[in-house]
Amino acid sequence: MHLKSLEITGFKSFAKKAALSFNTPITGVVGPNGSGKSNVAEAFRFVLGEQSIKSLRGKRGEDLIFNGGAGTGPGGSGGGSRPNLAGVKAVFDNSKRMLNIDFDEVVIERVVHRDSSNEYFINGSLVRLKDIAELLSGAHIGASGHHIISQGEADRILNANIRERREMIEDALGLKIYQYKKAESERKLAKTEENMKSVESLRREIAPHLKFLKKQVEKVEKVEEMRGSLKTLYRDYLSREEAYIKYEKARLAGEKAAPATELAKLDADLTHAKTILSQSKNADAASREVIALEQALQTARGEKDGVVRELGKIEGEISAVSRAITKEREKQSRDDSKTIYLRDVEAIVKRVFEIDSLDDIRKLLKEFVATHRAGGGSADSASAIADFEKDSRDLSAKKAALEADLKKASEKEASTNEEYTALRQKIELEKDTNREAEKNVFKIIARQNELRGVLAGIKNGEDRLVLAEESFKRDIEDARILVGREAIDYEKIEFGATVSVADSAAVSTARHEQEDRRRQIEKIKIRIEDSGAGNGADVMKEYKEAEERDVFLARELADLEKSKESLVQLINDLVNRLDVEFKNGISKINAQFQNFFSLMFGGGNASLEVVREKKRKRRPDTDLDLSDEAMNEEASENMEEEEEGEEGIDIHVNLPRKKVKGLMMLSGGERALTSIALLFAISQVNPPPFIILDETDAALDEANSRKYGDMITSLSQYSQLILITHNRETMSRAGVLYGVTMGSDGASKLLSIAFDEAVAVAK
Ligand code: ATP
């Protein structure tokens, strides 16, 4: 027993809570017309998720809520309280897990509010309609309602078009779950394809940028390559340049040393020579000194000569005095008395002093003596001798003094002469030295000029080297910036090691090669600059990011492609499975259909056929209903173009003993019987937990009612039956009977009743 109970609150005519328990295989619901029996069947449809308010005999959701009794307006006296919502609960025994949910009892509930909003619950938890539909479809009690046959709908399956029939049968066969899965997969597929499209368009959007970046990266890589060769070139160039500069420095320093030293020495020599020459300027002073010395010498000589003359005069006087003495003494001896007056003598002395010439002095003195001899006497001779001797003594003293003077004068003359001679010699010597010095100065200056020329050449070389060094430093900086530290991390080489210092040709060849290298470097530098590649690292980073993004998108696309494939596969599988199970189900139903049909009609044939809907292009606005074979035939005659459409179910009947073929030709009762046969056949193949039949038996006569009753009994072995009926035969088959009555308040009431009561109530 799967369906346990139904609880109706505020739904349609059920103003107050009413509950039905389904403890027997067959439950009958009986009651007079308009009491609310069909509302019970509708309560089932409602709670199982029926979305068509129309099929629940309403226009809006509000119509499903109890709105007061007939004849009494809203809030009227007879209606009692009016609920704001209608709710129906269906309680299932799920101990056999008929419903795919892990509860022994499942309560499905639906509530509709006045604003037509609906709420669905499973075991009290708010859920979506979809959840209810999926849960129920697993138990073959889906929304198509094939197991709930409403009043006047006994031949619903016959009236339905082939597509609707197919849906009903699919539902009954429990294939709806595959349909749901298929629809779900198709939705997912559409979503996947949509995602693929957006990923593809994203990739398309990225593509040009990526292409641009790739080109940039290629440029950067090219530049990197150029930098690589630039590095090698730089290393080679710089190491050689450094070695060259070192070598040149050493060479120039070496070349410079000797001339520089010589020049320094020459400077000293020149200074010396110049000093000598400047000293010659003192020659004038020396000349003046010589002249002065000459004068001094002359003076000294003059003085000496004077003294000599004086001395000679004194010596003459002395000899004159001594001769006079001698003469006197002789005269004394003969003429001692001769007297010479003093005044005469003094006069003569005075005259002597005035005469320079000795001869004159002698002549004077002879005359004096002769004069005085003639008149002399002996008395005077003695005093004369004494006077002479006195004179002689005076004169000798004078002479001694003069001799001392002479010595002095001679000495002075000698020393002055010596001085003079020394000075002269010195002057002579100086003259020689100066001439030599002059010659030297010219020689030195000439050599100096020569050396300066050499040094200027060297300086020129040094200046060039300074420039080369500066340029080398700039190159190092350039290399560092352009290529990085590696470029300047070159191996040091010794220039002299590869090129002989003496071999200037080799040096010049090396310089040429070096210039070639330099040109090469410049060329590459220009090419790097011209490449216009921006910051390599940035470009690489951006490219990497863009590429990663693209790769990510490609992977995403591949994933989507994969899930698309698996979805397509799943859909195909589902379609195949549906097809197989559907056709399988149809053949099983056909066997049962034939069985029930011949039971009902005592023979004849009935079968279902899977057909394809025909689409007509000529009249596209025509509402297609291919349920009618005749029409179908007619249509196929008239239509020129036909297309294969959806699969559907056609019904073929062949009544016994009648030439009647086709549903159109059946009577109302026959239609009802055929319909019931098919319904029962379907229910036999895949029994739903319960079947609700609302006056399906209304059109049956007594004989057929019995057959109907028999079928119900056998059907009740597989499904619970809830039968709304006025039929006595049907009532007799029910284990429990509920009576529905409606009071003056317009509200339906439910009560469990006995068969006899039911028969009475039904009438
Ligand atoms: P019959 O035997 O003639 O088929 P029935 O017992 O099946 O009758 P129903 O069709 O179930 O009767 O009930 C119809 C009754 O329900 C009507 O009297 C109608 O007024 C009442 N009804 C329908 N909707 C509402 C509603 N929203 N509020 C109150 N009463 C309602």
**Residue 744 belongs to a domain:** yes
Confidence of residue 71 (pLDDT cuts 50, 70, 90): very low
**Residue 495 belongs to a domain:** yes
Q: What pLDDT score does 77 carry?
A: 42
Judge contact between 738 and 39, C-beta under 8 A. no
For residue 728, pLDDT beyond 60: yes
Same domain, 429 and 282: yes
Confidence of residue 379 (pLDDT cuts 50, 70, 90): low
Same domain, 161 and 291: no
pLDDT (average), residues 236-243 = 85
d(CA 276, CA 270): 10
For residue 126, pLDDT beyond 50: yes
Residue at a domain's end among 532, 567, 602 = 532
pLDDT (average), residues 153-171 = 81
Instruction: Tell the residue nearest (CA) to atom 1 of ligand 1.
Output: 33
**pLDDT digits over 252-289, tens only?**
888 888 888 998 898 888 888 888 777 766 666 777 88
For residue 229, pLDDT beyond 90: no
For residue 88, pLDDT beyond 90: yes
Same domain, 324 and 464: yes
Q: Which atom of ligand 1 is nearest to the CA of 740?
A: 6
pLDDT (average), residues 421-427 = 85
- Looking from the CA of 763 toward its CB, the CA atoms found within 13 Å total 6
Distance between Cα 86 and ligand 1 center (Å) = 15
Q: To the nearest whole percent, how much of the chain has pLDDT over 90?
A: 19
Residue 36 Cβ < 6 Å to ligand 1: yes
DSSP letter (8 states) at residue 491? P
With CA atoms as reference, report the closest residue to 567 among 271, 230, 195: 195
**Residue 352 belongs to a domain:** yes
For residue 487, pLDDT beyond 50: yes
Same domain, 236 and 150: no
CATH number for the domain harbouring residue 168: 3.40.50.300
Q: Which residues of 97-131 are buried (b: 16+ CB within 10 A; e: fewer)?
A: ebbeeeeeebbbbbbbebeeeeebbbeeeebeeeb
Judge contact between 192 and 567, C-beta under 8 A. yes
Distance between Cα 144 and ligand 1 center (Å) = 23
Q: What pLDDT score does 639 carry?
A: 47
Residue ranges in 655-725 assigned as alpha helix (H): 668-685, 702-715
Distance between Cα 701 and ligand 1 center (Å) = 26
**pLDDT digits over 606-653, tens only?**
999 888 877 655 544 444 444 444 444 444 445 445 556 777 888 888
Stretch among 215-229, 278-292, 437-451 having the lowest mean pLDDT: 278-292
For residue 431, pLDDT beyond 90: no
**pLDDT digits over 491-548, tens only?**
776 655 454 445 667 777 788 888 998 899 899 888 888 876 666 778 888 888 988 9
Q: What pLDDT score does 620 carry?
A: 46
Distance between Cα 528 and ligand 1 center (Å) = 94
643 φψ region: left (φ > 0), alpha (ψ -120 to 50), beta (else): beta
Stretch among 26-40, 76-90, 581-595, 747-761 having the lowest mean pLDDT: 76-90
User: How big, in percent rounded to 5, are the helix, strand and coil portions of the chain?
Assistant: 65, 15, 20
Same domain, 515 and 610: no
Q: What pLDDT score does 282 carry?
A: 64
**pLDDT digits over 693-712, tens only?**
988 888 888 888 888 898 88
Q: What pLDDT score does 669 carry?
A: 80
Same domain, 464 and 315: yes
Confidence of residue 334 (pLDDT cuts 50, 70, 90): low
pLDDT (average), residues 199-215 = 89
Same domain, 323 and 413: yes
Residue 456 Cβ < 6 Å to ligand 1: no
Stretch among 203-212, 370-379, 727-736 having the lowest mean pLDDT: 370-379
**Residue 195 belongs to a domain:** no
The C-alpha angle with vertex 75 and arms to 72 and 77, in degrees rounded to 5, equals: 55
**Residue 555 belongs to a domain:** no
Residue 174 Cβ < 6 Å to ligand 1: no
Q: What pLDDT score does 254 carry?
A: 86
Residue 33 Cβ < 6 Å to ligand 1: yes
Same domain, 589 and 516: no
For residue 378, pLDDT beyond 60: no
| Both structure tokens of 523 | 């060329």
Which residue among 30, 38, 749, 763 is best mutated to probe the pocket of ligand 1, counting the most ligand atoms within 8 A of its Cβ? 38
Structural domain range at position 686: 2-176+576-619+634-762
Same domain, 588 and 699: yes
Same domain, 511 and 594: no
**Residue 359 belongs to a domain:** yes
d(CA 614, CA 601): 32
Instruction: Tell the residue nearest (CA) to atom 21 of ligand 1.
Output: 13
**Residue 447 belongs to a domain:** yes
Residue 31 Cβ < 6 Å to ligand 1: yes
d(CA 281, CA 285): 8
Q: To the nearest whole percent, how much of the chain has pLDDT over 70?
A: 88
d(CA 191, CA 186): 8
Residue at a domain's end among 471, 502, 532 = 532
Same domain, 293 and 362: yes
DSSP letter (8 states) at residue 11? B
Same domain, 255 and 166: no
**pLDDT digits over 182-195, tens only?**
999 999 999 999 99
d(CA 694, CA 748): 17
**Residue 206 belongs to a domain:** no
Which amino acid makes up residue 440?
N
Which residue among 11, 39, 723, 741 is best mutated to probe the pocket of ligand 1, counting the most ligand atoms within 8 A of its Cβ? 39
Neighbours of 233 (CB within 10 A): 19
Our count of domains for the chain comes to 2
Which residue among 13, 694, 740 is best mutated to probe the pocket of ligand 1, counting the most ligand atoms within 8 A of its Cβ? 13
d(CA 266, CA 455): 14
Instruction: Tell the residue nearest (CA) to atom 31 of ligand 1.
Output: 13
Residue at a domain's end among 532, 560, 591 = 532
For residue 750, pLDDT beyond 70: yes
pLDDT (average), residues 42-71 = 82
Confidence of residue 5 (pLDDT cuts 50, 70, 90): very high
